[in-house]
Chain A
Amino acid sequence: MNNSVSLKGVHKSYGKVKALDDVSFELQHGFYALLGSNGAGKSTLFQLLTGLFVPDSGSIEITGVDLNQQLTKALANIGVVFQQSALDLGLTVQANLTFHGRLHGLSTPQIKERSATELERLGILDSANKACKTLSGGNRRKVELVRALLTEPKVLLMDEATVGLDPASRDLLLRYVYDLCNERKICALWATHLIDEAEDAKQVLVLNKGKLLAQGTAQELQKATKTDNLLDAFLQLSGQKLAEAPSLQKI
């Protein structure tokens, strides 16, 4: 069976700054948390995984397809929610979804059926004909998640998707993605700097200053670092004190 996501020896620099330094990992289906403080290289990793950048060296495979060799084929298996919202606020929810679906080559009936199903599951079907600018931040994120799921991706990339959301919306989105991983056997890579979002993940990938420091369950990381919680494990792995990583929070 092909890995959902596979990175081998990936390097990426911006000038003299090493954004990613020899990063390798393999993910199957399930919920994976990519944990790192601000500037760890999470967004760069997502930009590489979506083909926006190419690595300086190393290889990336999505469901066994080499991203650099067959970008279009690889992208067809990815759904992504970027850290920065990417909705056309002047258009309605449905128009945004239709635009995205067609960009991915879906037919109108497919788009209507899938968007109605996902919007209903997330409880925002009644907002389908509302302009996105009228929606709350939480609902906009839900729309972005629906959009990412329209193409029935095998890999779901969520780049700090809960930033700016209230705790209830955050929890709803998180639980929804957990459920998706179980129901549809997809691989979700959830980038975050919020410890509690990573605690129940199948595996936690700890990224710091462009290096992948560890990969394992929260319990495995705690055991390896002889700590009793994930926050302390992260701080020990990254050699930071809490004051040096203010973005890391345990809520």
Chain B
Amino acid sequence: MVFNSQFRALLAIIQREMIKFWHQKGRLVAALVRPSLWLIVFAAGFQNVFGVSIIPPYETYIEYQEYVIPGLLGMVLLFNGMQSSLAMVYDREMGLMRLLLTAPQPRWFLLFSKLVSGTILSLLQAYAFLILTVVFQIDIPWSGWLYAFPAMLLGGLMLGSLGLLLSVYIKQLENFAGTMNFVIFPMFFISTALYPLWKLEESGAEVVFQLASYNPFTHAVELIRFALYGQFNAVSFGVVLVSGLLFFMLSVWGYNPQRGMAKFVKQKR
């Protein structure tokens, strides 16, 4: 009975996100244009600048365009995770958050449902981008499409949890620009999405190298990179799993009325 009730709630939240996504067709286009531009413009322009040596999981020299694919998939997951955060803030401003939080379901489950619905959208967009890579004649093994699924699922859940956590502290939609500057861009640029770690070390950017080494987004990208070539990166799996759990638990704590939702629900006496 309880399972039925929770399953219906989960479906309701997923269905609502899907309907909203369907009505926002520009969102899918934006999600594809962003990494595609990086792939066409950035990768094409810099492939001679950023030579990539043979590093795992690659067994031969690869073109830079192929190197950046996992990073761009990570970018899709990262932006959608943050978009989910934006949607939470929007729901809060519109009063819809109250509706969600006053449903007779465990709060952690409601937040988990939001996380799952956001991650499903992330995966749809990531696979849509993978289809585009075929158009651009980038050679990703077909088996990698399958192996990448659990990696992108885990990465999507981790980045979605980060989005949930941020939504606790972003009080207004206008603050989202700050999220771009202080979360999305640093996470993306200080990672292995665009260049391998050894490049950072070799160039003497020790601080950036250290930051990138510990950046959970780096590990989400590496997990996807290895999975695309049928390999498993245990360290990255561990970092993404632990980071995701930590972000989610902090989100649940953040949405706990015991700590006073006054922090993020507009106060009215």
Residues of A whose CB lies within 8 Å of any CB of B are: 14, 17, 19, 39-44, 47, 50-54, 71-76, 78, 80, 82-86, 88-91, 95, 98-107, 210
Q: Bound complex: CA of A39 vs CA of B6, how far in Å?
A: 37
Given known A47-B265, A86-B94, A210-B269, contact A100–B102 (CB-CB < 8 A): no
A99 near B104: Cβ-Cβ < 8 Å: no
A105 near B16: Cβ-Cβ < 8 Å: no
Q: Which residues from chain B contact A41 at a C-beta distance below 8 Å? A: 269
Q: Is B177 an interface residue when CB atoms closer than 8 A count as contact?
A: no
B269 near A39: Cβ-Cβ < 8 Å: yes
Q: Bound complex: CA of A170 vs CA of B258, how far in Å?
A: 35
Q: Bound complex: CA of A164 vs CA of B221, how far in Å?
A: 51
A-B contact count (CB 8 A): 99
B95 near A82: Cβ-Cβ < 8 Å: yes
B268 near A105: Cβ-Cβ < 8 Å: no
Checking A44, A54, A101 against B269 with a beta-carbon cut-off of 8 angstroms, the contacting residue is A44
Q: Which residues from chain B contact A51 at a C-beta distance below 8 Å? A: 101-102, 257
Q: Bound complex: CA of A90 vs CA of B5, how far in Å?
A: 25
A103 near B12: Cβ-Cβ < 8 Å: yes
Q: Which residues from chain B contact A85 at a C-beta distance below 8 Å? A: 95
Query: Taking CB as reference atom, which chain B residue is nearest A74?
Result: B104
Checking A43, A54, A78, A103 against B9 with a beta-carbon cut-off of 8 angstroms, the contacting residue is A103
Instruction: Give chain B interface residues in 79-105, CB to chain A under 8 Å.
Output: 94-96, 98-105
A103 near B96: Cβ-Cβ < 8 Å: no
Q: Bound complex: CA of A106 vs CA of B107, how far in Å?
A: 18
Number of residues from B at the complex interface, CB < 8 A: 35
A88 near B16: Cβ-Cβ < 8 Å: yes
B257 near A105: Cβ-Cβ < 8 Å: no
Q: Which residues from chain A contact B8 at a C-beta distance below 8 Å? A: 102-103, 105-107
- Give 18 pairs: A residue, B residue, CB < 8 Å, sorted on A: A14-B267, A19-B269, A43-B268, A44-B269, A51-B257, A53-B262, A54-B257, A71-B107, A75-B103, A78-B102, A82-B98, A86-B95, A91-B19, A102-B8, A103-B103, A104-B104, A105-B9, A210-B269
Q: How distant is B141 from chain A, measured CB to nearest CB, in Å? A: 40
Q: Which 5 A-B pairs have the closest CB atoms?
A: A105-B5, A102-B12, A86-B95, A76-B104, A43-B268
**B11-32 interface mask toward A, CB cutoff 8 Å, 1 = contact, 0 = none?**
1110110011001000000000
A105 near B6: Cβ-Cβ < 8 Å: yes
Q: Is B132 an interface residue when CB atoms closer than 8 A count as contact?
A: no
B12 near A53: Cβ-Cβ < 8 Å: no
Q: Is B55 an interface residue when CB atoms closer than 8 A count as contact?
A: no
A99 near B102: Cβ-Cβ < 8 Å: no
Q: Is B260 an interface residue when CB atoms closer than 8 A count as contact?
A: yes
Query: Taking CB as reference atom, which chain B residue is nearest A53?
Result: B257
Q: Which residues from chain A contact B99 at a C-beta distance below 8 Å? A: 86, 100, 103
Q: Bound complex: CA of A226 vs CA of B104, how far in Å?
A: 44
B95 near A84: Cβ-Cβ < 8 Å: yes
Query: Taking CB as reference atom, which chain A residue is nearest B106?
Result: A72
Checking A80, A82, A95 against B19 with a beta-carbon cut-off of 8 angstroms, the contacting residue is A95
Q: Bound complex: CA of A101 vs CA of B258, how far in Å?
A: 26
Q: Bound complex: CA of A248 vs CA of B172, how far in Å?
A: 31
Q: Which residues from chain B contact A71 at a C-beta distance below 8 Å? A: 107
Q: Which residues from chain B contact A40 at a C-beta distance below 8 Å? A: 269
Q: Bound complex: CA of A43 vs CA of B95, how far in Å?
A: 13
Query: Taking CB as reference atom, which chain B residue is nearest A73?
Result: B104
Known: A44-B268, A53-B257, A75-B103. 20 other contacts (CB 8 A): A52-B265, A54-B258, A54-B260, A73-B104, A83-B268, A84-B95, A85-B95, A86-B96, A88-B16, A88-B94, A95-B19, A99-B15, A100-B99, A102-B11, A102-B15, A103-B13, A105-B4, A105-B5, A106-B8, A210-B269
Q: Bound complex: CA of A33 vs CA of B259, how far in Å?
A: 30
A52, A71, A103 — most chain B CB neighbours (10 Å): A103
B104 near A75: Cβ-Cβ < 8 Å: yes
A50 near B102: Cβ-Cβ < 8 Å: yes
Q: Bound complex: CA of A99 vs CA of B99, how far in Å?
A: 10
Given known A50-B98, A54-B258, A86-B95, contact A104–B103 (CB-CB < 8 A): yes
Q: Bound complex: CA of A210 vs CA of B268, how far in Å?
A: 12
A39, A85, A102 — most chain B CB neighbours (10 Å): A102
